[in-house]
Amino acid sequence: MGRRRWANMRTPAELAQAACGTAKIKSGLSVPRMLMLGFLAGAYIAFAAWLTTVVTHDMPAHFGKGFTAFMAGSVFSVGLMMVVISGAELFTGNCMMPIGYLAGCTTFRKIARNWFWVYVANFIGGIVVAVLVVASGLATDAVAG
């Protein structure tokens, strides 16, 4: 009787091959597509950060630091879920792309191009959400702490 393998588990070699394929796809994205997907990821993360601030701003006084930290992690992870589910481009996720370079699936120039545009777009998406929050009047002293 051989080793039983779970259907959704991959071997290390299969993981490296999947990362190589992902790096090839991501490094081949057009600049407008990288900008749009990067903007969305930055906006989702900024929204999650804002939501975390709103939910946890006065929690330590009522529930303690431990539960507040738990809630902050739970609420912020919603932003990461939005990034993953939507297929948006978050810079930190693209830091696995050198596997594709080392395996010969893509060039370092294409990876650097992706990193630059996605980082810029993440920053712009985050700034736009911050400006909208401030302009809407939601960032008051009562909420911001």
CA–CA distance, 69 with 92 (Å, rounded to integer): 22
Q: Are 26 and 115 in contact (CB under 8 A)?
A: no
H or E element, residue 130: helix 108-136
Q: What is the pLDDT of residues 110-144, one digit of tens each?
A: 999 999 999 999 999 999 999 999 999 887 765 55
Least confident residue range of 10-14, 74-78, 133-137, 141-145? 141-145
Got the DSSP string for 9-36?
A: ---HHHHHHHHHHHHHHHHT--HHHHHH
- What tokens does 118 get? 């996605």
What is the set of domains in the chain, with CATH numbers?
Answer: 12-144 (1.20.1080.10)
What is the pTM for the complete model shown? Answer: 0.85
